[in-house]
Amino acid sequence: MGDESSHGSLKAEMSIFKILMMKKTAIVYFLLLTFFTATILTSCTKGFIPEDDITPNPPTNPGGTVTYQTHISSVISNSCIGCHGGSNPEGNLLLESYTQVRSATENGTLIQRINDATDPMPTSGLLPAQTRALFDEWVQNGYLEN
């Protein structure tokens, strides 16, 4: 009879062991799935988007002088202010005013990032070449405000 009791106890211990192993396996699978999902989602945010698919009607400059108010401000409002506005701007780069945008352009931060194909701003992908060229022309014109 003592033999049956130890056999039953051994079965119970084996069942508990199996349950613990199943829980550990489930946790490992959950962590792996979470890691791969996060990796895939993160890599998608910096993917390349062809220039033709970004802005159907980018601001243009048919023969006029590029100014902040006429050309640059609308690009900043549509593509930058969502992350670079408010009380906690991304990268501590605030782009809410002419002075802030000019400063970011003069120190090279803004121009470099809008032209960086591997780490573009906005993060959704490069702005159209035509739009990025407006910034270059604005710089060449001397950062005209109006």
pLDDT mean over 33-60? 56
**Whole-angstrom Cα distance, residue 83 to residue 32?**
31
User: Each residue of 95-138: pLDDT tens digit?
Assistant: 999 999 999 999 988 999 999 999 888 988 999 999 999 999 99
57 vs 104: which has the higher pLDDT: 104
* More confident: 49 or 125: 125
Contacts by residues 62-67 (CB-CB < 8 Å, ≥ 24 positions apart):
65/141, 65/144, 66/134, 66/137, 66/138, 66/141, 66/144, 67/138, 67/141, 67/144, 67/145, 67/146
What pTM was estimated for this model as a whole? 0.58
Decide which of 66 and 26 is more confident. 66
Residue 43 has a pLDDT of 54
* pLDDT at position 31: 82
DSSP tag of 52: G
Amino acid present at 125: G
Helix segments in the chain, DSSP class H: 2-44, 73-79, 98-106, 109-114, 129-140
Write down the pLDDT at residue 116: 92
Alpha-carbon distances of 116 from 11, 40, 92, rounded to whole Å: 63, 21, 19
The pLDDT > 90 percentage for the chain reads: 45
